[in-house]
Structure 1
Amino acid sequence: MSVTRRALALVLSALVLGATAPAAWADQLADIKAARKIRIAVAMGIPRFAFVDAALQPTGSDVETARMIAKDLGVALDLVQITNAARVPTIQTRKADILVASLAVTPERKKVIDFTVPYATLNIIVAGAKGVAVKGYPDIVGKRIGVTRATVNDMLVTQNAKGAEIVRFEDDATLITAAVSGQVDLVSTQEAVVAVMNEKRPDRPFEVKFVQSELNLGIALPQGEDALKSWLNEWVKTNVANGRLTTMFRKFHERDLPADLTSRN
């Protein structure tokens, strides 16, 4: 093949590859503004963060945070209701623009999705009935402990309580039902979930045995969306500083957000 023919073949090959290569993602913030709608994923069934009220309407601190973001962006809100286990995949596959779903910022998750500065926190705890003697992970061995699948709770118990019988549930609602009906001895969850359990079993309340971790919760978004991340970071910082996020969070959780929240990694 002559030099001229070889060069022509290379050009044609490049054109073919260019035609078949997947298009790069556009600026998602610009796309949201152009569509005048933002898709925000929220994991429903999490007490105080995302649940259905007496009028069968979604509410909770995560739901209200999503509504605040949409309003301040000047766009309509498309609330994408998902399960706990679907949180990371929903952002990876771009089935939502962002996710506000009590998702803890962890090194493992940061490998596949991006996070804003923290917008809220929660404590991960092990709880059980008063007569169950547990002070740490070694005491869980030989007991049935319930967790919600694909959560930090699940990971911590799996890593630190080898030998325990771990019973995994798809969401907090089914975990609550299992605990109330006596299917598990212990639960690894958050304080808000335990409060709901105790409302349903006041004669046998669960008590906190030990705190596993304080988690920083970030708004999740696809990697590479720098403009959207920058806008969200500024929004969180502004609304923590002016008290809007803290006031709303206190309404559902009866506690304030930490003063150093947005400076945490």
Structure 2
Amino acid sequence: MLKHSVLAAALAAACLLGGTAVRADQLDDIMAAKKIRISTDLAIPPSGMMDGSMKPVGSDVETAELLAKDLGLEIEWVQTTGATRIPNLQTNKADIVISTLSVTPERAKVVDFTAPYAALQSVVGGLKTLDVKNWDDLKGKTIAVSRGTTQDTALTNRAKDGGGFNVARYDDDATMVTAAVTGQADFVATSATIVNQVGVKNPARAFEPKVLITTFDLAMGVKKGEPRLVAKLNEWIAENIKNGKLNAIYKKYHGTDLPENMRGAS
């Protein structure tokens, strides 16, 4: 009986170890499926948008397409907003997020980040006709922001410290921009690129960056505990920064080069 018990225990342990050894992680799952589910907001030009034929385009879209092509994978787009990017990873709706996702300590507690593939200048933008140069000039004003973004966090913290302005929250960048275009908002907190889009949509209400909030690295987001997937993505990012392809995509849509310290990376 003792021999049988020892043998059974040994077999159980072997099965357990064997099961652990052959368990496929997310990178294995993606490569086996020959498809990668990428969460991207397609309503925040020029990073993500739909063209006249309803085809996804933009800097994040082209970055995702280049990644999928290099890995030999098909893309399944998972539409998102600023507030649902991280939940899409946590609920396994998406494999990765490529959607102007800024790297912050708070987010790093719940998702893992790759190396940066782009950068974002976060600003308060307003009508060109308004004389605003600093935070003091924004006292008594209402600033529109997309809910759940880093700009929302920054405004909330500053308001708590006596910022003296009001915050109007919108569910996504598209509705926030619409508010600016239609005259419902004279100030928005978002990326400098999106600020410039207001005047493109309505030349009579041209906006410009007024106050710098901060400059963020943009990285791909991955569910916690997938180091092989993060390493694979980092390898791809390093190669495509070095060969200039990521800089070319960024400049095509944003009109400027990536920060010099990024372009010098390898």
Report SS of the residue matched to 2:203: coil
| Residue 234 of structure 1: aligned partner | 235
Report SS of the residue matched to 2:221: strand
Native 8 Å contact 2:242 2:264 kept in 1: no
Q: Report the residue type matching 2:213 in the other structure.
A: Q
* Whole-angstrom CA distance in 1 between matches of 2:221 and 2:214: 20
How do 1:7-46 residues align onto structure 2 when only pairs under 5 Å count?
Answer: 26-46=24-44
Greater mean alpha carbon deviation, residues 252-261 or residues 148-157: 252-261
- Offset at residue 26 of structure 1 (A): 3.8
Report SS of the residue matched to 1:80: strand
Native 8 Å contact 1:119 1:262 kept in 2: no
Describe the shift of the 1:263–1:216 C-alpha distance in structure 2 as closer, same or farther (beyond 3 A): farther
1:62 to 54, 60, 63: 60
Report SS of the residue matched to 1:249: helix
Q: Map Cα deviations across residues 106-140 of structure 1 (whole Å, 9 max, x no partner).
A: 00000000000000011111111234343333332
Report SS of the residue matched to 1:260: helix
* Whole-angstrom CA distance in 1 between matches of 2:97 and 2:56: 15
| Residue 117 of structure 1: aligned partner | 115
TM-score, scaled relative to structure 1? 0.86
Report SS of the residue matched to 2:205: coil
* Whole-angstrom CA distance in 2 between matches of 1:156 and 1:165: 13
Q: Report the residue type matching 1:149 in the other structure.
A: R
Q: Map Cα deviations across residues 189-219 of structure 1 (whole Å, 9 max, x no partner).
A: 1122122211233233222212111110010
* Whole-angstrom CA distance in 2 between matches of 1:262 and 1:231: 20
Q: Report the residue type matching 2:128 in the other structure.
A: K
| Residue 22 of structure 1: aligned partner | none
RMSD: 2.4
Describe the shift of the 1:204–1:43 C-alpha distance in structure 2 as closer, same or farther (beyond 3 A): closer
Native 8 Å contact 2:170 2:176 kept in 1: yes
| Residue 210 of structure 1: aligned partner | 211
| Residue 21 of structure 1: aligned partner | none
* Whole-angstrom CA distance in 2 between matches of 1:48 and 1:206: 16
- Offset at residue 155 of structure 1 (A): 0.8
Greater mean alpha carbon deviation, residues 180-189 or residues 115-124: 180-189
| Residue 249 of structure 1: aligned partner | 250
Native 8 Å contact 1:137 1:161 kept in 2: no
Identity percentage of aligned residues? 45
How do 1:142-153 residues align onto structure 2 when only pairs under 5 Å count?
Answer: 142-153=140-151
TM-score, scaled relative to structure 2? 0.86
Native 8 Å contact 2:37 2:77 kept in 1: yes
* Whole-angstrom CA distance in 2 between matches of 1:185 and 1:49: 23
- Offset at residue 263 of structure 1 (A): 8.4
Native 8 Å contact 1:148 1:168 kept in 2: yes
| Residue 176 of structure 2: aligned partner | 175
1:75 to 60, 73, 76: 73
Native 8 Å contact 2:101 2:220 kept in 1: yes
| Residue 47 of structure 2: aligned partner | 49
Q: Report the residue type matching 1:245 in the other structure.
A: L
Greater mean alpha carbon deviation, residues 107-116 or residues 170-179: 170-179
Structure 1 gap segments, 5+ residues each: 5-10, 12-17, 19-24
| Residue 103 of structure 1: aligned partner | 101
Report SS of the residue matched to 2:123: strand
Native 8 Å contact 2:68 2:74 kept in 1: yes
Native 8 Å contact 2:103 2:218 kept in 1: yes
Structure 1 runs (4+) greater than 6 angstroms displaced: none
1:94 to 92, 95, 105: 92
Q: Map Cα deviations across residues 33-53 of structure 1 (whole Å, 9 max, x no partner).
A: 111111111012111100011
